[in-house]
Structure 1
Amino acid sequence: GEAIPVPYCDLHLKSGDAALKVVHHPVVDKVLVANVDLPANYRMVFWGHRGRCRTSDKEDRSISFYPPNPQTGRNFYPFTKTLRRDNYNGVLNPESTGDILQYASCPGPSERQNIKSTFQYFGLRNGDIGGLEFVTLEPVKANTQLCHWYGSHWWSARNMKRQDVGTNRFPAPKRRKTAKGSKTR
């Protein structure tokens, strides 16, 4: 078979990055938290098998896959740093893999993201396995949830109401107040 293009060793492919852990959540079942204090710009990879997108009425933790250019290794326009959308190649489905980044939450209305995608993808067009790099946006304390924005239509496509995910034991980062008191993402 093809070589695994994800930059993890065999141990981390099987059980995930040891700096992160999956914990039980009273409402959403499982969430991802920092196992240790993480620095800003800590790198991690969401990975899975490339395939078709499921309908939104099915359990789905997949992320869209935009494979990198084979010559440059990048998949964004160099001058604007925006993602190329003309090379969509299905989704990365983490089911039946050791990926744990699939359990990163979407922040609720009074929360904000503390990780984001870098648009650095790993893998080949029409390959079996692919990955997407994420980084922490700030230092993250141990037991704090890792949260990234799922997209504006994710909730409505599933006929769900967006809700806060932070708990006392596993907090999610709160939105910051601006000078006028309104909140920012």
Structure 2
Amino acid sequence: MDATSRDRDSEGRARNARPRDGLGRPLPYGAPGVERQPEQVPRTPDETVREAQRLLDAGMPFHAHEVFEDAWKSGPSSERELWRGLAQLAVGLTHAARGNATGGARLLRRGASALAAFRDARPHGIAVDALLDWAGELAHRVETGEGGTVPGGRARPAEPVDAAGEAPRLRSGSR
């Protein structure tokens, strides 16, 4: 593909066709990549949670974010913040797994803020309170680093986290 042309889908919309790795990073054209999540798939809330959990458990939070994004964009307006917050948590984990501590912490906190209104409701069985705790703890850990300080007293950036090992439980007791 030359620099002047753009990837397009069947309807002519711009779509990057480059393959991606398990964390959603673009790979060179022709490289083997991870199959992308199909977009605009209608799912029930239960199907959304199950599919996103499967992807999170597989260490693919970027792909889980796409599942949440479908629910966010197609669901009832009363649940948009729920799905948007879950998508932001997944993107926060993606950034933390890529080694972007600042972006990871910021998105984990933004997602938790969006979810806070649902704390007592447990919509669709989602353990919002546990997710809020998880997001806060992981944001703190990736932001401050666990390796002490660098010269000048600044916190040493955290190493990239293991996306599968850090995957949150969307529902209590599910695995």
Fold match, TM over 0.5?
no
Length-normalised TM-score, structure 2: 0.27
Greater share of strand: 1
Length-normalised TM-score, structure 1: 0.26
Greater share of helix: 2
Relative contact order, higher structure (CA 8 A, sep 6+): 1
